[in-house]
Amino acid sequence: MNGKVLIMTAVKAEQEAVLRGLNGDSRFDVIVAGVGQVAAAITTTKALATSNFHVVISAGIGGGFRNQAETGSVVVSSEIIAADLGAQTVDGFSTVEELGFGFSRVSVDRELVIKVTETLKNSGMIVKTGPILTLSTVTGTEETAQELAARFSGATAEAMEGFGVASAAKEFHIPCLEIRTISNPVGPRDRSAWKIKEALEALEKVSSILPEVLN
């Protein structure tokens, strides 16, 4: 395939985990996007404007929805959704699509999802596929977790950068994927429940496997 693989992470610790897993594979560029979808969109756009990539991945740690993705598992996006891009109304949340103001969902190539998911599963990792929500605020209550799960059927994980990365990739007509290693359950804020070190180790393992399927 023409072009390299671009992997965008939010923070340096995630970039370092991905680089350890890639072990110097020059077919991949790994860039720190910054936390949040605006920083991610800007940084991804700058990278895509300067080099030739055939796929873009938003990768990092994320929160897993109850009964969808346990802490320690890996989530591969079937769709990347800006979950708080819309309006609060007396009848509930209206998406920007419903408001007629644009898009809040980026689709992911189904074959790509299957290839990545199966390769990771074959390596022994616990892998789920489903919509990954992008939020500007980390969910911190059970009420919000339940509201998001009800609003977005099958919501599997949440993070803060995916839609920004995916929107930039969409602008350049490049396939995009989000991969999250689950560091915590989505719900009541409990810092002690965050397994960041373990999630970074899983991110390193995921990254060591990607060259098999994304070269």
Ligand X SMILES: O=C(O)c1cccc(C(=O)CC[C@H]2O[C@@H](n3cnc4c(=O)[nH]cnc43)[C@H](O)[C@@H]2O)c1
Between 63 and 86, CB nearer to ligand X:
63
Q: Which of 94, 194, 195, 198 binds ligand X (CB under 6 A)?
A: 194
**Of residues 62-91, which lie at the interface with ligand X (CB under 6 A)?**
62-63
Q: Which of 10, 41, 106, 209 binds ligand X (CB under 6 A)?
A: 10
Instruction: Tokens for 143, please give them.
Output: 């009420």
Between 6 and 119, CB nearer to ligand X:
6
CA distance 70 to 51: 36
Within a 13 Å sphere around the CA of 62, how many CA atoms are in the beta-carbon half? 35
Any idea of the CA torsion for 201, 134, 63, 5, to the nearest 10 degrees? -20
- x/- mask, ligand X, residues 117-156, rule CB under 6 A, reads ------------------x--xx-----------------
Residue 13 in the binding site for ligand X (CB under 6 A): no
Between 116 and 132, CB nearer to ligand X:
132
Which residue's beta carbon is nearest to the bound ligand X? 63
Q: Which of 193, 137, 140 is nearest to 160 (CA)?
A: 137
Q: Which of 17, 61, 116, 209 binds ligand X (CB under 6 A)?
A: 61
User: Does residue 144 contact residue 126 with C-beta atoms inside 8 Å?
Assistant: no
**Of residues 171-190, which lie at the interface with ligand X (CB under 6 A)?**
183-184, 186, 189
Min separation Cβ 204 and ligand X, Å:
16
Q: Which of 56, 80, 85, 159 binds ligand X (CB under 6 A)?
A: 159
Between 114 and 194, CB nearer to ligand X:
194
Q: What is the binding site for ligand X (CB under 6 A)?
A: 10, 35, 60-63, 135, 138-139, 158-161, 183-184, 186, 189, 191, 194
